[in-house]
Structure 1
């Protein structure tokens, strides 16, 4: 039988959640599926979302307004880059809002969104798509247990 404790450091949390924008449009949700789990501090949930769960217990539900500073940050003008049009394949018909995946310096993938373009340059925004947005974070805690339990 699991040991039920409140959400805190060194706990594994099983929850259902949804993320919505200021206008109420839902960005992500797993309320129609099984609870997902994470260990507090493992990096799978942003710290600004994690902190709001502290003290909650199994069966509790809550809704939080999470400002950009605690969510996906504010847009950074340095994350908008000009890339030569020649770097894109000729057959690609560019449109504003088009998303591409670029290789970063570490060899990982970095998503970028085309914000403007002309015959010579393409402006790509590498900010997180939810940067600058206040997020409504709804959560239902299913189970909380010590992280080493299992």
Structure 2
């Protein structure tokens, strides 16, 4: 068995997290399916300030930290809001306000968008992250740390 590993700048980290909003409402959790998340520090998938909160933690540690919007999912960008013609959607599309839809990208990937409003032939779609602009509280439990020797 190896000794306890400490999270460093290029560690692979397996962790459970609970993500809450300031009002205490749950936004996401790995515990729902009891499947921890796996990430690599420094790969760009997390903001630098989120990673900074994890540095120095080790297997078994539990920590809670609050991140303002700019350090979590960013601030809403008005350039990510699009006005599309209703005719661009299929007849069976759920265009209800608040519905999340997938939009095909040229590279074949799918980008989620939130229907913000439907007015006549115009549909407003917001491609900002659903938690953009929100202060979030992360409760993390470090399950395992793998460091490259």
The question of a shared fold, defined as TM-score above 0.5 by the shorter chain, is answered with yes
Q: Which structure 1 residue ranges, 5 or more long, are not aligned?
A: none
- In structure 2, the residue matched to 1:129 is 130
Distance between the aligned counterparts of 2:54 and 2:71, measured in 1? 13
- In structure 2, the residue matched to 1:65 is 66
Aligned residues: 148
Distance between the aligned counterparts of 2:99 and 2:52, measured in 1? 34
- In structure 1, the residue matched to 2:15 is 15
Distance between the aligned counterparts of 1:112 and 1:34, measured in 2? 26
Distance between the aligned counterparts of 1:94 and 1:14, measured in 2? 37
> Is the 1:4–1:145 Cα contact (8 Å) retained in structure 2?
no
Distance between the aligned counterparts of 1:143 and 1:82, measured in 2? 45
CA shift at 1:40, angstroms?
A: 1.3
Q: Which structure 2 residue ranges, 5 or more long, are not aligned?
A: none
Alignment TM-score, normalising by the size of structure 2: 0.87
Moved more, 124-133 or 51-60: 51-60
- In structure 2, the residue matched to 1:50 is 51
> Is the 1:15–1:141 Cα contact (8 Å) retained in structure 2?
yes
SS at match of 1:86: helix
- In structure 1, the residue matched to 2:140 is 139
SS at match of 1:48: helix
> Is the 1:112–1:127 Cα contact (8 Å) retained in structure 2?
yes
- Deviating beyond 6 angstroms after TM superposition, the runs of 4 or more aligned structure 1 residues are none
Alignment TM-score, normalising by the size of structure 1: 0.87
> Is the 1:39–1:147 Cα contact (8 Å) retained in structure 2?
no
- In structure 2, the residue matched to 1:88 is 89
